Homo-oligomer: A and B are copies of this chain.
């Protein structure tokens, strides 16, 4: 099974853009890495994610830790599923807090209703117990819950975070902390 996991690098609210990293794991081993950027608080998250995923060959599954991305940007898992015809699973040990996101969007953006759409569509999370007693919250698109749980169990090796998300997070954070990236590319 080839899975592509996406994550953004570290960023601050002063940054114009954040690093976006896609990591392809084949049977939980790294097979490749793709990188791009995404606008902090922008509306290009889904577009940038799709462009990045199109550079990943032969993937069977896309996994996200969140639909939120780089502040108030977002990735729409339904759009990804429609475009690529692979299942998309959003999975996180923490329960997403839609109410707070909606409140913040309304406060900060005139186009908050459009921005909230992605969060509304993915508002329902299922809870799954994992080995060792932890839980994970997931929202699966293009795959039935039973099959999604089966996929997640194959991906969760340690703790309660799917391995591709653990790996892409390490890579994204490391890269975004490169001082010369911050100076030349990511900072405003």
Which A residues form the contact surface with B (CB < 8 A)? Answer: 29-35, 157-158, 163, 167, 170-171, 174-175, 178, 180-181, 184-185
Instruction: Choose among A35, A163, A174 the residue with the greatest number of B CB atoms under 10 Å from its CB.
Output: A174
8 A-B interface contacts by CB (under 8 A): A29-B157, A30-B170, A30-B171, A31-B170, A171-B171, A180-B184, A180-B185, A184-B184
The reply to whether B180 and A32 form a contact with Cβ atoms under 8 Å apart is no
Cα A139 to Cα B171 with chains together (Å):
30
CB distance from A16 to the nearest CB of B (A): 14
Bound state CA distance, A178 and B171, in angstroms? Answer: 14
Task: For A174, give its contact among B32, B158, B170, B180 (CB under 8 Å).
Answer: B32
Inter-chain contacts of A163 with B (CB < 8 A): 29
Contact assessment for B35 and A178 in the assembled complex, using a CB-CB cutoff below 8 Å: yes
Q: Which residues of B contact A175 (CB under 8 A)?
A: 33, 175
Chain B nearest Cβ from A133, distance in angstroms: 20
Tell me, rounded to whole Å, the shortest Cβ–Cβ distance linking A54 to chain B. 16
In chain B, what residue has the closest Cβ to A32? Answer: B170
Q: How far is the CB of A35 from chain B (nearest CB, A)?
A: 7
Bound CA–CA A170/B180 (angstroms) = 21
Chain B residues with CB under 8 Å of A180's CB are 181, 184-185
A157 to B178, CA, bound (A): 31
Report the nearest B residue to A177, measured CB to CB: B35
